Structure 1
């Protein structure tokens, strides 16, 4: 018989506390009836002997210790999934908000996911083309990888996310089996409208699944949003055999919601007030990317996070960097020079890039072009530092050529339009145009055979 608890011990922020509770499980979904009329849902987040703490998914306004009836469902939060989710928009707990009706399915899926057996994982191969030169050439996104974008407040990470959603395609001819799951956490209404409008205008809405949690939605919902999105991605990848790109923005909003709830639960805080389990909590999201033996599909992740005060040592980017396979770093200095996308290539890297580029994947010269650009652009920073001391006119002839290389690289290679979609061939050819500004003798990172074949300069 289903038991109903009629007296609460305490209501504190988004939490309610119950005593004398029996047979309750962690993460169990709870039904709350207020004054016999209004229904809310919550989940069990802490159990201590016969006492439980419940997070309410909606505001706790109107709940008192005597007017609420609480009953336990006996199961975790699940969502219905089918191929019909493509082209749809849901809120943070997986309920449709686009007026398209409910998703009907025989099976319901636990949003906490199924741990992927490490032995069953396949090593990521093959690149995903984003149409953005700085990513495709220098920090290549590999299918099955998790590659975050580190940004800052006021930077164009939303535009970059929308551009990747519009332009991303896998490097084979299976485009019909490629889809995008987009999770937005704590975003403003105008940002949500921007994403919808961008996808609609580009005609890609039918291959995008959106999970939107707005800034004025409950913070508990923000914790659930990425889990709903990743559950949809796992279904499409491993049951429907599709290649899925998951874009999650903004992970910092998610972590701040986690910090707020941790504080409400009076847990001992760790660095900058974040809970001590922040690392394992982020890992529970990021490690849901990958490829599995015997399964056609794959899940690739691009989490986007804003670094408070542009501090890359802040706990959120710091821990994200440990878990993921590289990062794409956006620079405020480059952005202020009116360059979009403002990718700072020197601290950016893709650790799996070497295994998904070159002959058979992109083009034989890809690795050499990338290495040479990194090396030469790094030297440009030294030349700029020297020019600030002695003046640009006093530089040697070769240093002046490097200065020209740096300007051309930023204004022609890095800089591109919001709707400009470059193929990998166009990107690599452009790379050769840029490095051919330098004399052949300076190109020490390129194989001599490849150099003879592609070099455009006079030698």
Structure 2
């Protein structure tokens, strides 16, 4: 759509990065409506409307009052500033050329590479896919992270967050999954990143040799807040085109969605919206759902999977951001003390692949391992209170230590099949077959008979005795 040449110059109010201008009714100066919600506008730096222009976006239309969020901030803007509406919303470049490139939240290239001015652009923020055009996800995305592949399998078209707190290595985990996941295209969206985190992601993708299939949209902590709101839409618009038109298996990584929600809150305050729970806007659920519901397994096309990081202020899962996110997504990964917690983590789609498209023992071994790890936590509590421990408690204590070392450590890197074999090996080192309460046919096929039952428990007892001496 061609740019509308009409300029409007009556600035009513400047509040923070918000600019409110008077726009005459449609038909007074132009045959077309001068502004639409979500459209872009160009704001001239000079009073006469000439010179350098900065971008802004229409956030609210109240009669003849139009509120604009200025991307670069309102510093230097006077009340005699001229505004020109462009007639379209923010757009993202969508072609094979975006792979291996880095963009700002506005969609502009920031990697000093060649321009992509001739590439096709698509508007962001399109509606989610009609449910009729969706297919049920039934294909596993391998990550080589045992706590995900074995216990909370990531499935194509799934939307799932990593719940964590500041200081936990959630960005390291997110980057590792992006590198090791068996996806055709990875689209990364960074929201409010400090430079160290940005450098970590870029260096990790480059060192692993996957940068050529990765597109990055980055908003730094020092960048304008409104650009932070555009990053998820930019990343998802590009990912959706690769999935629909290119039949690609696309993985979208977003970090951190709490920064996105905080940006919504700041804009809401500037817009004088009535705050809801803890100061967040009342449409927080809708805003998050509009992004997460982009995850889809397209009928006759590819798939779009969303994995995000969501920090919980004060490790409070009832905080509005994780609380609303939990209602939208299909499970979550809890990252605590540098490990994925098997109790708080959940993948609601894992039943579609466990023992169906994966090895037959996957579902049973997953359930038994978590049950016995729960027994080990109970045994640790009994030990801490100086209660007498049973034989099963002693075995469970040894099992719990091995479980943390072999599976929960984020440095562990192994395929699903290798992890399942190690699960059987760990069970055989700590428990006898009859203690597992599993299908006999699985025990006959996979239980390592050459390993003596209780062998590891005896070694653990010896180790503790030696340490005491």
Same fold (TM over 0.5): yes
| 1:89 Cα offset (Å) | 0.8
CA contact (8 A) 1:95 1:102 kept: no
CA contact (8 A) 2:395 2:431 kept: yes
Corresponding residue for residue 434 of structure 2? 441
Out of 37, 45, 52, the position equivalent to 1:38 is 52
| 1:438 Cα offset (Å) | 2.1
| 1:3 Cα offset (Å) | 1.6
Count of aligned positions: 436
In structure 2, C-alpha distance between the alignment counterparts of 1:396 and 1:115, rounded to whole Å: 55
In structure 2, C-alpha distance between the alignment counterparts of 1:194 and 1:458, rounded to whole Å: 45
Corresponding residue for residue 366 of structure 1? 362
Does 2:209 match 1:203? yes
SS in 1 for 2:223: coil
| 1:13 Cα offset (Å) | 0.8
Q: Which runs of 4+ in 1 moved over 6 A?
A: none
Task: Extract unaligned runs of 5+ from structure 2.
Answer: 26-32, 454-469
| 1:43 Cα offset (Å) | 0.9
Cα RMSD for the two superposed structures: 1.4
Of the structure 1 ranges 99-108 and 79-88, higher mean CA displacement relative to structure 2 is found in: 99-108
Of the structure 1 ranges 206-215 and 96-105, higher mean CA displacement relative to structure 2 is found in: 96-105
CA contact (8 A) 1:144 1:298 kept: yes
Query: Pairwise mapping of residues 148-227 of structure 1 onto structure 2 (< 5 A)?
Result: 148-169=161-182, 178-227=184-233
Corresponding residue for residue 354 of structure 1? 351
Of the structure 1 ranges 35-44 and 269-278, higher mean CA displacement relative to structure 2 is found in: 35-44
In structure 2, C-alpha distance between the alignment counterparts of 1:80 and 1:206, rounded to whole Å: 16
CA contact (8 A) 2:8 2:22 kept: no
SS in 2 for 1:45: strand
In structure 2, C-alpha distance between the alignment counterparts of 1:447 and 1:117, rounded to whole Å: 42
Provide the TM-score with structure 1 as the length reference. 0.92
Who wins on radius of gyration, i.e. which is larger?
2
In structure 2, C-alpha distance between the alignment counterparts of 1:186 and 1:235, rounded to whole Å: 25
SS in 1 for 2:358: coil
SS in 2 for 1:169: coil
Query: Pairwise mapping of residues 15-414 of structure 1 onto structure 2 (< 5 A)?
Result: 15-22=18-25, 23=33, 24-35=35-46, 36-66=50-80, 68-105=81-118, 107-169=120-182, 178-295=184-301, 297-332=302-337, 335=338, 342-359=339-356, 361-390=357-386, 394-414=388-408
Corresponding residue for residue 338 of structure 1? none
CA contact (8 A) 2:175 2:204 kept: yes
| 1:458 Cα offset (Å) | 4.2
Task: Extract unaligned runs of 5+ from structure 1.
Answer: 171-177, 336-341
In structure 2, C-alpha distance between the alignment counterparts of 1:145 and 1:255, rounded to whole Å: 21
SS in 1 for 2:82: strand
In structure 2, C-alpha distance between the alignment counterparts of 1:250 and 1:227, rounded to whole Å: 14
> Cα 1:106–1:163, aligned 2, differ >3 Å: closer, same or farther?
closer
